[in-house]
Amino acid sequence: MTGIVNTAQSEAWNGYEGEHWAGHAGRYDAVNSGINEPLLAAARVGAGDRVLDIGCGNGQLTRLAARRAAAATGVDLSGPMLSRARESAEAEGVPNVSFAQGDAQVFAFEPGAFEVALSRFGVMFFADPVAAFSNIARALTDTGRLAVAVPAMSASGIGAVFAAAAPHLPGFEVGHGFSAFADPAATAELLTAAGFSGVTNELVDTDSVWGADVADATEFVMGWGPTRYHRQRNDFATDDELRSAIGAALVPFAGPGGVRMRAASHLITATVALR
């Protein structure tokens, strides 16, 4: 493993948060997989491409990319999630994937080793986003392409659920990095400073499945990393009210197909700038 500069993130993703994601891989994929096809299409992943998946986690997108490319490599901070990713690639018989543990902000990628860099919700956590995206740009060829998705929490159904939870969780916030990509001008400025050009930023709506029914989805949201973190900080004192508030907020989304919500994402593309 190369160096780690995002140490708090590394602790979280190698601790409770990463264990929860690795232990509920199918659930997280049901929540997040709607963006897979828009992301792969935006990146124009093709048969000859070598693809880098940043913050690949349990590796569903890495496997999908590998199936239509020459090879795909996932890089992630999380040991538990990478173990899960390797097991799934083996179980599904996807031979042209590899995974590496490390911090994408400083990882010693071979320069120009990839035609495409992708990420499904893995680029919101960098302490220094310009340094991180500069490092990713260096890993791409001179005509390399970038396509990343970032949750647009406030435009998504789950945003209403977290808003209902917040009064029962002092200090609750979903994640400071999520809003960084909401402003197209700020996104373009960031990626231009990191060596990209032709930045696009589109809001994409997808379907998202949070559970079989309200009780199931409520327990999942209660255990989700940021919720769990603030429950623990609060000595679990408001768990009863919190559970009721989350359950009530999920009711409008429940139906015969489970608890389904609209999920909005910022889908951002760019190409490597002339160098």
**Residue ranges that bind ligand SAM, judged by CB under 6 A:** 6, 9, 13, 28, 32, 55-58, 75-78, 81, 103-105, 120-122, 125-126
CB of 52 to ligand SAM, least distance (A): 11
CB of 272 to ligand SAM, least distance (A): 20
Burial 86-96 (b: 16+ CB within 10 A, else e): bebbeeeebeb
CB of 260 to ligand SAM, least distance (A): 18
In the bound state with ligand SAM, the residue whose beta carbon lies nearer, of 63 and 168, is: 63
User: Could you write out the DSSP letters of every residue in the chain?
Assistant: ----S-HHHHHHHTTHHHHHHHHTHHHHHHHHGGGHHHHHHHTT--TT-EEEEET-TT-HHHHHHHHHSSEEEEEES-HHHHHHHHHHHHHHT-TTEEEEES-TTT--PPTT-EEEEEEES-SS--SSHHHHHHHHHHHEEEEEEEEEEEE-GGGSHHHHHHHHHGGGSTT--S-GGGGGGSSHHHHHHHHHHTTEEEEEEEEEEEEEEEESSHHHHHHHHHHSHHHHHHHHHTTTTTHHHHHHHHHHHHGGGEETTEEEEEEEEEEEEEEEPP-
CB of 127 to ligand SAM, least distance (A): 8
In the bound state with ligand SAM, the residue whose beta carbon lies nearer, of 134 and 238, is: 134
In the bound state with ligand SAM, the residue whose beta carbon lies nearer, of 144 and 151, is: 151
In the bound state with ligand SAM, the residue whose beta carbon lies nearer, of 124 and 245, is: 124
Listed residue (114, 43, 35) closest to 73, CA to CA: 114
CB of 148 to ligand SAM, least distance (A): 10
CB of 207 to ligand SAM, least distance (A): 15
In the bound state with ligand SAM, the residue whose beta carbon lies nearer, of 220 and 254, is: 220
In the bound state with ligand SAM, the residue whose beta carbon lies nearer, of 104 and 165, is: 104
Residues in contact with 44: Cβ distance below 8 Å, sequence separation at least 6, in sequence order: 116, 145
CB of 81 to ligand SAM, least distance (A): 5
In the bound state with ligand SAM, the residue whose beta carbon lies nearer, of 107 and 253, is: 107
Angle, helices 157-165/214-223, rounded to nearest 10 degrees: 70
CB of 210 to ligand SAM, least distance (A): 14
In the bound state with ligand SAM, the residue whose beta carbon lies nearer, of 182 and 215, is: 182
